[in-house]
Amino acid sequence: MPLLEVRGLRARYGGIRALMGIDLDVDKGDVVSLLGANGAGKSTLMAAITGVMSRGVEGSIRLDGKEILGLGADKVVREGVALSPEGRQLFGDLTVAENLKMGAYTRRDSAGIQADWDRVLHIFPRVKERLSQLASTLSGGEQQMVAIGRALMSRPRLLLLDEPSLGLSPRFVQDIMKLIRQINQQGTTVLLVEQNVRQALHISNRAYVLEKGAIQMSGEAATVARDPRVLSAYLGAD
């Protein structure tokens, strides 16, 4: 059974249909990419999975067999889903350390929190060097590391990453992708929305292509990467 099962998911913003019957699976231990142009519905899907958006949403979202559609965002976090959002959305007037600790706000297991704190600082040594700095003073790449680290502090079974490379230099994009793969190899399942299609497919097991609120293509990442439609639309090939 997949860790995440999305079935027949529909979403509306008022009279606008944003998602039209999405079916999607994320197996335990995988990295799955969700690809598509701006306005395709990717962020709406992420918002529905995390409970941030519930009004106008119909269908089924199951985590490890348990229905989570309709739960509040805080309860979805407690079930084991964490989001590193598009644009990072750090608290700029708080320190890096304070931002990281915000990720554990639903937890009371002090020993487990300390273990995850140590893990995050091991994965992101650059973050460890900047714990006392205000988050607003960090570079874009450093802020992205803090945002992912904050999400990891909830100890998620499923980590959702919404455009983690947005606005980063090519060098930082490669660094972030390597870190995502490292996090996955340590046991965290990942659903990735990413504008850098080539990099996303390189680190993914499977991929879905979303267009105008509907899944147009899915399969093994290597197969999707060879599809002429993907090559033409996203990878710059004729």
pLDDT in tens, 164-209: 988 888 888 899 999 999 999 999 999 999 988 999 999 999 999 9
**Which domains can be identified in the chain, with CATH numbers?**
4-233 (3.40.50.300)
Strand order through the sheet with 57-63: 16-26, 4-13, 57-63, 66-67
Looking only at the bridges linking them, the beta strands covering 57-63 and 66-67 are: antiparallel
Give phi and psi for 183, each to the nearest 5: -60, -45
| Cα dihedral 113→119→50→36 (10° resolution) | 170
Are 215 and 19 in contact by the 8 Å Cβ rule? The answer is: no
Residue-wise pLDDT tens for the chain (238 aa)? 899 999 999 999 888 899 999 999 999 999 999 999 888 999 999 999 999 998 999 999 999 999 999 999 999 999 999 999 988 899 999 999 999 999 999 999 999 999 999 999 999 999 999 999 999 999 999 999 999 999 999 999 999 999 998 888 888 889 999 999 999 999 999 999 998 899 999 999 999 999 999 999 999 999 999 999 898 888 765 4
